[in-house]
């Protein structure tokens, strides 16, 4: 491009020999790219820290994969001694079998108790039905029937007694007439007395049954019904209590089985956890931690605490650049802006990418004395390389835009004082300070929107 030649036009000048020592450049219309240069470091787009999930410090390392190895998800990374966890699984399996046997016996006892209580309740219900039927039979059948029979016997005895009274009167008349003897009168009187006694006995039996036997028997029958109802209610309550007790014991045994299964599950999970696998694909990087009084990476024989970081697993198949952009340049860049990145270790590799994220809050720049502000910037690379590693120095060029047909001069020809931009323009054999309005720029040239004309020459240093 032409602006690369402008810096070389130092010798050409118009004026006295006193001005020939000032290098100048000519204002010309050019097309140029607006770029922002940043320096950052490579990092994996996603990464995870791998640690042991086994509780306490019961894990002991017996094998480690080589650092720097490329692994896929599910590949083995670290193996811990499985012996104590195998024993734990064996004990848990035995405990589960024992708990299941106990639960089975309580389940059978519960079933037997249910059958027994059902039989007891059925027997009590049967006794109640029998007592109710006996009451009904006596109250509506046998009792009234016996009362009627005794009442009928009284009526018969009264008729017999009346008949014998009439018969004895007739015999007395016949004896007075001399038809029969006195002996026959005596026999008739004896029969009349027997009839009277029979009547008295029948009346007594009727009255006793009516006034005493029938009410007493009726109350006894009702009492048997009441006792049967009470017995049924008590049997039901007792049966419910016994069944509930048996069910509680069975439920408790089932809970013990559930607990034993959970214990076995945890023991089995711990056993499986003795082989630590990669949750994502990536490259193995062991972390340094304090182990046995010194800061070092893990090795075979080390005890491992739960959640203690063992290794860092970055997925280098997808890389990003973490960098910063100056406050004055942040308006030039937006998410999706194209970038080109090169790493110092492999300068021949050009990595295409786009701006993925721009920080919201400004931060202090790396130079505290300058007081400048910067924003965090994340660049997502389109594809990586097997040679790339997290932490490598990355230099990114961000294509912020393209300026077409703009009046341009070298950046060094612009001076700023009290927030006013100006140039020294060569006129009439000297240099005149001329205020200018600036536009876009890159590292080499800057757009002049007002203050200069095409073809005018400007000083590259203050004259």
Q: Which residue has the tokens 């590259």?
A: 460
Instruction: Give the rounded distance of the alpha carbon of 195 from its chain centre.
Output: 101
Give the burial class of 216: count Cβ atoms within 10 A of its Cβ; 0-12 exposed, 13-18 middle, 19 or more buried.
exposed
Q: Mind listing the pLDDT tens digit for each residue in 277-329?
A: 999 999 999 999 888 788 999 999 999 988 889 999 999 888 999 999 988 88
Tokens standing for residue 400: 């912020």
**Statement: the pTM of the whole predicted model exceeds 0.85:** no
Tokens standing for residue 119: 């039989």
Return the SS3 of 442. Answer: coil
Beta strand 319-326 with 289-291 is: unpaired
pLDDT score of 184: 72
pLDDT score of 17: 38
Identify the CA nearest to 325 among candidates 43, 45, 37.
37
What DSSP designation does 322 have? E
Residues 6+ apart with CB under 8 A from 95: 260, 263, 264
- The long-range contacts involving 199-203, CB below 8 angstroms and separated by at least 24 positions, are 199/154, 199/157, 199/158, 199/160, 199/161, 201/157, 202/150, 202/153, 202/154, 202/156, 202/157, 203/154, 203/157
- The long-range contacts involving 225-229, CB below 8 angstroms and separated by at least 24 positions, are 225/128, 225/131, 225/132, 225/135, 227/131, 228/124, 228/127, 228/128, 228/130, 228/131, 228/132, 229/128
Give the residue ranges of the chain where pLDDT is below 70: 1-20, 167-168, 170-173, 175-182, 185, 365-371
C-alpha 419/C-alpha 412 separation (Å) is 16
pLDDT score of 371: 58
Return the SS3 of 20. Answer: coil
pLDDT score of 105: 95
Our separate counts of H helices and E strands in the chain read 5, 25
Number of Cβ within a 10 Å radius of residue 328: 11
359: left (phi > 0), else alpha (psi -120 to 50), else beta?
Answer: beta
pLDDT score of 20: 57
Question: Which domains are seen in the chain, by residue range?
Answer: 3-45+318-459 (2.40.30.170), 49-81+274-313 (2.40.50.100), 86-272 (1.10.287)
Q: Mind listing the pLDDT tens digit for each residue in 62-107?
A: 999 999 899 999 999 999 999 999 999 999 999 999 999 999 999 9
């Amino acid at each position: 491009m032409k602006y690369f030649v402008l810096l070389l036009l130092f010798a050409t000048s118009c004026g006295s020999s006193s001005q020939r020592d000032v290098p100048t450049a000519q204002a010309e219309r050019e097309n140029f790219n607006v770029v922002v240069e940043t320096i950052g470091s490579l990092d994996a787009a996603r990464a995870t820290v791998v640690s042991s999930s086994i509780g306490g410090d019961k894990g002991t390392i017996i094998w480690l994969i080589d650092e720097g190895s490329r692994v896929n998800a599910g590949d083995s990374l670290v193996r811990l001694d499985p012996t104590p966890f195998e024993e734990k699984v064996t004990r848990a399996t035995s405990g589960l079998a024992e708990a299941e046997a106990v639960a089975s016996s309580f389940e059978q006892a519960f079933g037997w108790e249910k059958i027994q209580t059902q039989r007891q309740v059925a027997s009590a219900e049967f006794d109640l039905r029998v007592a109710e039927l006996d009451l009904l039979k006596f109250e509506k059948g046998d009792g009234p029937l016996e009362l009627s029979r005794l009442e009928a016997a009284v009526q018969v005895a009264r008729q017999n007694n009346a008949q014998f009274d009439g018969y004895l009167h007739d015999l007395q008349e016949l004896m007075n007439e001399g038809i029969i003897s006195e002996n026959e009168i005596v026999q008739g009187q004896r029969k009349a007395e027997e009839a009277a006694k029979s009547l008295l006995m029948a009346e007594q039996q009727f009255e006793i049954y009516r006034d005493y036997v029938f009410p007493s028997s009726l109350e006894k029958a009702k009492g048997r019904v009441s006792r049967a109802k009470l017995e049924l209610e008590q049997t039901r309550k007792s049966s419910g209590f016994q069944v509930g007790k048996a069910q509680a014991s069975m439920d408790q045994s089932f809970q013990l089985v559930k607990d034993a299964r959970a214990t076995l599950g945890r023991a089995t999970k711990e056993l499986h956890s003795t082989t630590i696998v990669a949750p994502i694909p990536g490259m193995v990087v062991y972390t340094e931690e304090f182990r046995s009084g010194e800061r070092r990476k893990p090795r075979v024989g080390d005890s491992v605490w739960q959640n203690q970081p063992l290794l860092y697993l970055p997925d280098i198949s997808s890389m990003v650049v973490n960098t910063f952009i100056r406050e004055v340049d942040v308006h030039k860049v937006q998410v999706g802006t194209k970038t080109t990145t090169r790493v110092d270790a492999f300068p021949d590799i050009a990595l295409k990418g786009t701006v993925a994220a721009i920080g919201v809050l400004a931060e202090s720049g790396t130079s505290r004395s300058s007081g400048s502000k910067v924003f965090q910037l994340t660049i997502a690379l389109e594809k990586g390389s097997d040679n790339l590693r997290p932490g490598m120095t990355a230099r990114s060029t961000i294509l912020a835009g393209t300026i077409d047909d703009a009046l341009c001069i070298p950046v060094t020809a612009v001076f700023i004082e009290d927030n006013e931009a100006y140039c020294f323009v060569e006129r009439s054999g000297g240099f005149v300070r001329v205020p200018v309005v600036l536009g876009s720029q890159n590292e080499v040239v800057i757009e002049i929107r007002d203050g200069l004309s095409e073809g005018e020459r400007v000083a590259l240093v203050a004259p």
